[in-house]
Structure 1
Amino acid sequence: MPDSLGPRLKVGVVVPSTNTSAQPELDAMRPDGVTNHTGRMIIDDDSMVDQPGFEHVMHGIRESTHPAIRGVVSCDPGCVIIGVSPESYWEGTESHARVLGSMREAAGGRPVTMSPDALDAALAVLEARRIAVITPYPPVGDDPVSRFFTGSGYDLLGVQGLGAPSPLQISHVSETGLRDAVKEIDGADVEAIVQVGTNVAMARLAAAAEFWLGKPVVSNNVALYWHALRQNGITDRVRGFGSLLAEH
């Protein structure tokens, strides 16, 4: 018999323990008959303002990701979303297949969605190659994100870091701050604006920004959830979070 509340799909989600944005945003996007089940990577709210500090945060994420995945798959989800961005970009495009493979192994072979694959698929359906990127990080975190997108063949026209000093502080960025970042990074040649960082609460703001700008604005959490749903046969159009989930 299928799960009584999630007969169509159970989605496992793993996020850092400091992340307070991904779980409520993904729950708000849930189609009927789909349930989300969140596990947490236990990390400290350490400073990210310099490279040693950022590396220490990354070490905590690496050490805790696989245990968090194993903790969530015991409820037998149909797929797993890895709701953390830095691990996806820090080692570059050449290491992504290896990282993704290790996540799938920890998930018992289940489909796994990570930010690079989700954003790449989203930009493909949106037919955008000339992009600008908003990150939550100080410059030490912006650099690997920039290298990843350029290494993936995108024409990166700008990067706007929000400068959050620690993982927890990422969730404190206001909608006003996000609005200002969108305005700052936009330009006539930009085909799409991409926001990375799963602790940035930008799902609804991105939808509003699309209305202002007349171009795609892709929230990291929306792209992750859209990709997981579509890869697992859920084609419902969900409105209120931008054109990606409403039209594709």
Structure 2
Amino acid sequence: MTALGILYPGHFAEDDYPRIEQLLGSDIRVDLVHTETGEDSHRVDALRDMGSSERLARGVEGLRLSGAEAVVWASTSGSFVLGWEGAHEQVRALALTAGLPASSTAFAFVHAVRELGVRRVAVAAPYPDEVAGLFSDFLRAGDVEVAGVRAAGAVTAREVAGWGEAETLALARAADVPGAEAVVLPDTALHTAAHVPLLEKTLGKPVLTANQVTVWEGLRLADRRVNAPELGALFTREPIVQV
């Protein structure tokens, strides 16, 4: 049994996680602990506060008895708004507090792009322009080339959580550009676990979504590989050997 600890901010698309757990198989357990969000806003100051070390430390307390082998902070924006170095500091503090290997959804996207062996991605971000730009900057800092960005302008996570398949597919289509080898959809408030196969079939390329890569990152930290075709190319490809 492999147990993953997920720190999830608030209550938005958390039902993606039991769905993903079911698709992974019976020997993977995804333990979700909700952290306090403060103000629900896609403003930089609010996002920084949401990912504060104090809030994450309180969340870790809920994982103490779970037997988790790794912990992932399940927020893209609550990490990348700190910048590349600030996000590293956040993860280092989380690992120290939890006593476990740790990461965040923001870093999960960078690692997942490398896993797929692609370099150029299109960003389909629910966020306002400023926040979408900061995510693109974060990817570039991780040596990922951003071929195009589409920002949907959603002001709150609650708004994004209300989107269905049609809205998600429309955003992904609008963001895709010629030359992009994959499309990435940040924001763990976006329900995507049930939509990855359709997204990839429609776009004809790998699609990476926030809750999908969060769980994959936990498995990576726990040194587990799982074949789960319903979760997309990320869960079916052979590992890329980095040289």
User: Cα deviations across residues 33-79 of structure 1 (Å, max 9, x unaligned)?
Assistant: 2212111112245343xx4xx41343133242221022213323111
5+ residue gaps, structure 1, are 1-7
CA–CA separation in structure 2 for the residues paired with 1:199 and 1:107: 24
Q: Percent identity?
A: 21
- Figure out how many residues of one structure are paired with residues of the other and give that number: 236
8 Å Cα contact 2:124-2:151 kept in structure 1: yes
Match status 1:46 vs 2:40: yes
3-state SS in 2 of match to 1:218: strand
1:16 corresponds, among 9, 12, 34, to 9
* Closer, same or farther: CA 24–170 of 1 in aligned 2, 3 Å: farther
CA–CA separation in structure 1 for the residues paired with 2:80 and 2:45: 13
| TM-score normalised over the length of structure 1 | 0.86
Give the match for residue 86 of structure 2: 95
Measure how far apart 1:26 and its partner are: 3.5
1:76 corresponds, among 67, 72, 87, to 67
Give the match for residue 229 of structure 2: 239
8 Å Cα contact 2:192-2:209 kept in structure 1: yes
* Closer, same or farther: CA 186–60 of 1 in aligned 2, 3 Å: closer
CA–CA separation in structure 2 for the residues paired with 1:164 and 1:206: 21
2:162 corresponds, among 163, 172, 179, to 172
Give the match for residue 5 of structure 1: none
CA–CA separation in structure 1 for the residues paired with 2:101 and 2:67: 12
User: Cα deviations across residues 122-147 of structure 1 (Å, max 9, x unaligned)?
Assistant: 11121111111122212232121121
CA–CA separation in structure 2 for the residues paired with 1:45 and 1:170: 15
Give the match for residue 226 of structure 1: 216
* Closer, same or farther: CA 91–230 of 1 in aligned 2, 3 Å: closer
CA–CA separation in structure 2 for the residues paired with 1:235 and 1:93: 27
Match status 1:140 vs 2:130: yes
5+ residue gaps, structure 2, are 239-243
CA–CA separation in structure 2 for the residues paired with 1:113 and 1:98: 11
1:37 corresponds, among 31, 34, 53, to 31
User: Cα deviations across residues 198-237 of structure 1 (Å, max 9, x unaligned)?
Assistant: 1111233232121222211111221121222233232221
CA–CA separation in structure 2 for the residues paired with 1:242 and 1:30: 12
Give the match for residue 188 of structure 1: 178
* Closer, same or farther: CA 46–231 of 1 in aligned 2, 3 Å: closer
8 Å Cα contact 1:41-1:61 kept in structure 2: no
* Closer, same or farther: CA 239–178 of 1 in aligned 2, 3 Å: same
CA–CA separation in structure 1 for the residues paired with 2:62 and 2:41: 27
User: Cα deviations across residues 83-118 of structure 1 (Å, max 9, x unaligned)?
Assistant: 11112201211223211101101112x111312332
Match status 1:208 vs 2:198: yes
CA–CA separation in structure 2 for the residues paired with 1:44 and 1:94: 23
Corresponding letter in the other structure for 2:7:
V
Measure how far apart 1:193 and its partner are: 0.5
